[in-house]
Amino acid sequence: MMRSRWRSLAGLTVCGALALGASAAGAVHEAGSKKAAARASRARPLTRTWNLTLSPAPNDIALAEISFHRAHLGARISGRMLRVSVSGPFGADYMALATPIVGTPGDLRAVVVVVNRPSPLMDPANVHLRITARQGLGTPVVWKLANPFSQPHPGLTPALCDMPMHGSAVSGSELLALGSRGAPPAGFGVATTVAQAYDVACGLPYEGSFAQAVTGSPAPRPPVCTPCDPRPGFACPLVQPNVCAVPVAVAARRASASAH
């Protein structure tokens, strides 16, 4: 009887030892898995980098919209999340990067603009940019457009014209400046340069001073009509470039008055 009890106790002891060993082995395995995951996380790059080439003609601009449709990092892009640098010769050109202040969570975007300012400083035909973005922004989609001043396409809406305020002209106060390189067009900063370039590319109203600063000549304006207000019995002189006819209602009133 005593031997049977000792055997039972010995069996329980062995089982307990095996259970403790299995538990310890499981803990060691779990700790090892966590360490492996931590090592993999540290090894995984926090950013992605790619190259982008823009080719504005002299006295013109080129721009690109960088969109992230599955962003996981807040409701707005910051300078730490997205950076643009110039690789190679840059001459007297200007680069500006900005993003909408009011963004859409999970659907973020930024616009980079390059102004081709001709000079004797080895101006490149192609400007090579290096884009660095946080992985949490997701996979980027890039739309480009070049030379809206010298090669306009009226009636066509480019794919990049989809910022949150699309449909109306963008102001610099609606954009957050993220970075720049070079001297900006006279009278314009980072955000206002991007806003004006976006408006030009998307066929929206823009300032004539921006066109003059970029192209070196003022933007074309509607022709100014020469006032013409003929009295009854007098002919309207033909003055170039245009002659404005008297409004129909005014002419009718005058004809009625002369008849009486």
pLDDT tens string 101-120: 987 777 899 999 999 998 88
CA-nearest of 140, 81, 80 to 107 is 140
Residue 144 has pLDDT above 50, yes or no: yes
Pair 131, 22 in one domain: no
Dist CA 175 CA 50 (whole Å): 24
Pair 29, 6 in one domain: yes
DSSP state of 198: H
Full-model pTM:
0.68
The total of structural domains in the chain comes to: 3
Residue 244: CB partners within 8 Å, gap ≥ 6? Answer: 225, 226, 227, 228
Pair 171, 255 in one domain: no
What is the per-residue pLDDT across 211-253, written as a single tens digit (0 to 9) for each? 999 998 765 554 445 445 555 554 555 544 444 444 444 444 5
**Range(s) of the domain holding residue 247:** 222-260
Residue 110: CB partners within 8 Å, gap ≥ 6? Answer: 65, 66, 77, 82, 97, 98, 99, 178
Pair 28, 64 in one domain: no
Pair 169, 226 in one domain: no
Angle at 211 between CA 208 and CA 215, to 5 degrees: 145
Strands (DSSP E) contained in 10-93 are: 47-54, 60-68, 82-87
Pair 61, 83 in one domain: yes
